[in-house]
Amino acid sequence: MHYADGYKFSTYGWVLNMSISTNLFDLTGKVALITGGATGIGKAIAKAFLDHGAKVMIGSRTLANVEQTVAKFSEDYDINHVAGVSLDVTDDKSVSDAVNKTIHQLGGLHIVVNSAGIMCKKPTVDLAPYDVNKLYDIHITGSLRISQAVQPIFASQNDGVIINIASISSYVSLTEVTAYAAAKSAMMGLTRSLANEWAKYGIRTNGIAPGFVPTDLNKKLIEGTDRGRRILESTPMNRFGTSEEIAGAAVYLSSKAGSFVNGHTIVIDGGYLACGIGDSVAPWQTNT
């Protein structure tokens, strides 16, 4: 059959010729800046990017965490492929400095992952405006601040990927985390808006909504607790997820494999949203 531009003609029409195409998930030559990249899901995404050939700048407010993560990654990867920066997404100068350092130290910038976040658990009646504003400033305004900072760079090269980390709470109500759920729901709106406005500049913006993945942010709320029991009993796969299982979606969205995906939020939840009444029983719950 005739081959042209990575495609071949079969009885079913033109199809992608995988035998001559490059690895769809290869990120070689790409540079990523990850906020909240020193711990949890952000750290797992950083590792996955490194595994697929990208250079990565680890950003976090806690410099000690950044240094520890960079030191660990430097043992396993090319030392020239990983670096760290103190990054506070609520501060304009900190954001600008992090973007500039990424470009100057790693040679460019093609991918941004907005993973920085905090949790606030308290009854909604006790929420103060400060609580809500603080979460919005980090999750929403912080993500917007980073995205605005990189937009001219991405537009000038007609190539850029923005990934916003949303949450299962973007879709469903969870008691006593109202400020967090509101911020993560707004993250989906931000994702759609950037995708709509900036695609003409070669910028794709998508989101990832993790289900229940124990991290330093939430594990005290869900591991071994009644709340966690109820979550698992509504999860067909009958377990929590892992940060590594979330990271694969970030690789997909950043690579050629996801080159026509724009404005979507991918849910990775073990079937939680699909569950009405299921058969799952939490591991620490006696089945009677």
The residues that bridge with 10 in the sheet, in sequence order, are 13
Q: Tokens representing 256?
A: 């050629």
- Please say if 201 is a catalytic residue: no
Residues in the chain: 288
Tokens 């299982």 found at: 245
Dihedral pair phi/psi, residue 82, rounded to 5° = -140, 140
Least Cα distance to 196 among 187, 186, 206, 183 occurs for 206
**Residue keyed to tokens 């090269």:** 157
Say how far residue 155 (Cα) sits from the centre of its chain: 21
Please say whether the beta carbons of 95 and 149 come within 8 A. Answer: yes
**Spatial CB neighbours of 236, under 8 Å, sequence gap ≥ 6:** 270, 271, 272, 274, 275, 278, 279, 280
- Considering the candidates 171, 180, 252, 272, report the single residue annotated as catalytic: 180
**Hey, which residues are catalytic here?**
180
